């Protein structure tokens, strides 16, 4: 298929061993499934909370610094994708598709930026920040009239009474 318009692209469909594949000039990423995670993230309101209401979040030290919300998002996304060290955070640094999914204007920060950001956290800041963050997060979860799975048993929560359905 050849299409001329705002964007010109050529689409070839081939089959190899029963698996169809296409060629396109659209941007691609191995992490495009993050779109679903981003949608859930936005629906929880956590992005807005981190951008404004969350108390005591460290701010960047210069006008060139990354917004705090974007640093936290980048860290969370990297952990979801399996990052175990700050050095692993660079996996997404050059992935333009992920930047567009999350709306990161400056892209993703470097390992050294994340190191400087996390050095700002001490016990006092953690004691102020994380109870408020946890309270906000758990206020978003509504468990009335839903089926729960607890240690292999089905539980139905109705009017704050838990009924075990074995």
In a domain, 24, yes or no: no
Domain tally, the chain: 1
In a domain, 92, yes or no: yes
pLDDT in tens, 68-125: 899 999 999 999 888 899 888 888 888 888 898 899 988 899 999 999 999 999 999 9
Q: What are phi and psi for residue 163, nearest 5 degrees?
A: -120, 125
In a domain, 128, yes or no: yes
Measure Cα distances from 22 to 6, 10, 27, 35 in Å.
20, 10, 13, 21
In a domain, 43, yes or no: yes
In a domain, 7, yes or no: no
Asked if pLDDT for residue 28 goes beyond 80, the answer is no
Determine the pLDDT at residue 5. 43
63 and 128 Cβ atoms separated by less than 8 Å: no
Determine the pLDDT at residue 18. 60
HSE (side-chain half, CA atoms, 13 Å) at 30 = 4
pTM greater than 0.75: no
97 and 29 Cβ atoms separated by less than 8 Å: yes
Rounded to whole angstroms, the Cα distance separating 106 from 25 reads 24
Q: How is 120-152 classified by DSSP, letter by letter?
A: T--HHHHHHHHHHHHHHHHHT---TT-EEEETT
In a domain, 154, yes or no: no
Rounded to whole angstroms, the Cα distance separating 15 from 22 reads 9
Determine the pLDDT at residue 16. 53
Determine the pLDDT at residue 37. 87
In a domain, 72, yes or no: yes
Q: Pick 154 or 40 by higher pLDDT.
A: 40
**Domain span including residue 115:** 34-139
In a domain, 39, yes or no: yes
Question: Which of 99, 18, 101, 32 shows the shortest CA–CA distance to 66?
Answer: 99
């Amino acid at each position: 298929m050849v299409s001329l318009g705002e964007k010109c692209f050529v689409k070839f469909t081939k089959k190899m061993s029963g698996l169809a594949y296409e060629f396109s000039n659209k941007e691609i990423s191995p992490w495009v499934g993050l779109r679903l995670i981003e949608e859930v993230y936005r629906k929880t309101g956590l992005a807005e909370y981190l951008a404004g209401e969350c108390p005591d979040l460290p701010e960047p030290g210069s006008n060139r610094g990354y917004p705090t919300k974007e640093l936290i998002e980048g860290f969370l996304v990297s952990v979801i994708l399996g990052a175990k060290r700050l050095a692993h955070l660079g996996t997404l640094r050059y992935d333009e598709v992920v930047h567009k999914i999350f709306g990161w204007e400056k892209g993703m920060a470097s390992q050294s930026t994340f190191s400087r950001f996390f050095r700002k956290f001490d016990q006092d800041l953690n004691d102020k920040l994380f109870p408020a963050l946890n309270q906000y997060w758990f206020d978003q979860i509504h468990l009335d009239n839903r089926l729960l799975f607890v240690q292999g048993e089905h539980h139905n929560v109705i009017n704050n009474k838990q009924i075990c359905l074995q």
